[in-house]
Amino acid sequence: MNKKLLETVNISKSFFSNKVLDDINFSIDYGEVLGLVGENGAGKSTLVKILTGVHKPDSGYIKIDDSEINVKNISIAKNIGINIVFQELSLTNNLSVAENIFIGKIPSNKIGFVDKKQLYKMTDELINKFKVGIKAQDIVERLSAGNRQIVEILKAVSSNPKLLIMDEPTSSLEKSEVENLFKLINELKKNNYSIIYISHYLDEVFRITDKILVLRDGEKVGTFKTDEVTKDDLIRKMLNKNIHEFFASDTEKKQSKKMLLEVNGLSDIKNFRDVSFALHRGEIIGLVGLVGSGKVDVCRTLFGLTKNYLGKILLYGKEILLNSPVLARKNNIGFIPENRKIAGLFLRDSVKHNIISGVLRNVANFNFLNTAKIMEMVIHFIDLLRIKVSGYDQSVTYLSGGNQQKILVSKCLAAEPDILIAVDPTRGIDVGSKVDIHEILREQAGRGVGIILVSSELDEVINMSDRILVFVNGEITETFHSGEFDTHKISLAINQGITDEENGNGRK
């Protein structure tokens, strides 16, 4: 029987009058992986910040090895063996793997220079211990996203923690990279490390955890052995309502034969070539493929982000040169980018200003902004997407990931596009927010909007699309229609490029 490592006793926390944690009790054993799940706003982040010394609880306490510990700050948390691997990596790209792992504690020789021999030896010991496929001398910027994530974890492990907290560690990883991460987690378990695993990807939670802690509205719903609960049960516990489908249900749609967009022989030479397809009113087309397959590059081109391309783009039956986002917007094309923080939102600005930022002319009279029109639009979208905000002037940076994503979707929908290109519109957000966004996308399709959907989650594409186009090495290799969707067949088609390269037939 495993010995208990950490226990929380009646942890509570409020910010002003808002109680964000209420009497939270849970424990984790040595060598155990605990999944921490809940909607955005459930209290997960606050609980983690208390465990790592960022926040102090209003009441309750933490026990390590049956002894009560006062975690006053991050340094104390690290000293007692609690470390966190953040979703946003803290690596220095131009340094080596070894230098990143031991940054701040790099060994030096007698004359004060870096002892590279000792540094590489220490790094190799970690690499060999956890059986990961990287080298101490590798430069971080040349590594894949998955291997950079592994370096981040080894960096945390180098301080010899007892408990590792992993916050959305797979949000930017491909399937094969996720498998490598899981191998590392299993090696950590074998070496008696304990892990708190936070993820919105429930399939991963079920694969890698031993038990699951569910929070809802700041309260503990329960702790469940992973093999004794189903995904539907877990979603119901998280949302406090019955839900039989993880994705939004299909609604009556106005899909018609009227063509909105036609692409003929589209190429940008480098990323994709000879791409042809059509999008009809009310249709949702899913684009799937590995990272670098060309699917996102096609979407960027259709929004005018590629200056030079070959082939033809027809809108409403007429050929058009789409070489700028301004021109795309003028032709009623909306775009939800894959990274809301870099390409989608003005994080320091308000909820109100973000929602109207793309439609200023629509909320103005004689070039002066009309407050009444602005508030009508903002309130409409906050109600429509069930966005949780403390006020219309609240800075977007302080919203949860799910609510930030809803603001981004609102910003795009405010322009009332005829064609909506959505690239990973639900990446890294909670299940409740996913359902809300799926519902609004289905509603838009029901109104006749044509949607091009890209997602790293195959289940999402299958459940949302009328047609799926598979991209391999920059080309559309297969098309699946809604009546013939098969997860296994689509997965095989997506990974065909890997098989071809292994056989020496892939495009380099």
Domains, the chain = 4-239 (3.40.50.300), 247-332+418-429+450-503 (3.40.50.300), 338-416 (no CATH)
Position 497 scores a pLDDT of 56
Position 243 scores a pLDDT of 53
Q: What is the largest distance, in Å, between two alpha-carbon atoms of the chain?
A: 77
Position 499 scores a pLDDT of 44
Residue 152: what are its φ and ψ, rounded to 5°?
-60, -40
pLDDT in tens, 283-335: 999 999 988 899 999 999 999 999 889 999 999 999 999 999 999 999 999 99
Position 159 scores a pLDDT of 85
Q: Does residue 502 register a pLDDT over 50?
A: no
Residue 469: what are its φ and ψ, rounded to 5°?
-105, 125
Query: Quick one: which H or E segment has residue 221?
Result: strand 219-225
Q: Does residue 240 register a pLDDT over 80?
A: no
Position 200 scores a pLDDT of 83
Position 242 scores a pLDDT of 58
Select the highest-mean-pLDDT range: 149-158, 214-223, 427-436.
214-223
pLDDT in tens, 331-347: 999 999 988 888 889 98
Both tokens of 249, joined, read 């249900």
Location of structure tokens 């000792």: 118
User: If you average pLDDT over residues 252-276, what whole number do you get?
Assistant: 84
Q: Does residue 471 register a pLDDT over 80?
A: yes
Position 289 scores a pLDDT of 92
Please, what's the b/e burial string for 52-80 (b: 16 or more CB within 10 A of its CB; e: otherwise)? bbebebeebebebeeeebebeeeeebbeb
Position 87 scores a pLDDT of 67
Q: Does residue 71 register a pLDDT over 50?
A: yes
Q: How far apart are CA 13 and CA 264, in angstroms?
A: 58
Residue 30's pLDDT band, with cuts at 50, 70 and 90, is very high
Position 507 scores a pLDDT of 41
Q: Does residue 490 register a pLDDT over 80?
A: yes
pLDDT, the chain, mean = 88
pLDDT in tens, 132-146: 889 999 999 998 877
pLDDT in tens, 362-406: 999 988 999 999 999 999 999 999 898 889 999 998 888 888 999
Residue 277 — left, alpha, or beta (φ > 0 → left; ψ -120 to 50 → alpha)?
A: beta
pLDDT higher for 243 or 92? Answer: 92
Torsion of CA 347, 350, 355, 356, to 10 degrees: -120
**Full 3-state SS string of 292-308:** CCCHHHHHHHHCCCCCC
Q: Does residue 500 register a pLDDT over 60?
A: no
Burial class (CB in 10 A: 0-12, 13-18, 19+), 247: buried
Residue 172 to residues 133, 205, 306: CA-CA distances in angstroms?
A: 19, 16, 23
* Side chain identity at residue 64, one-letter code: I
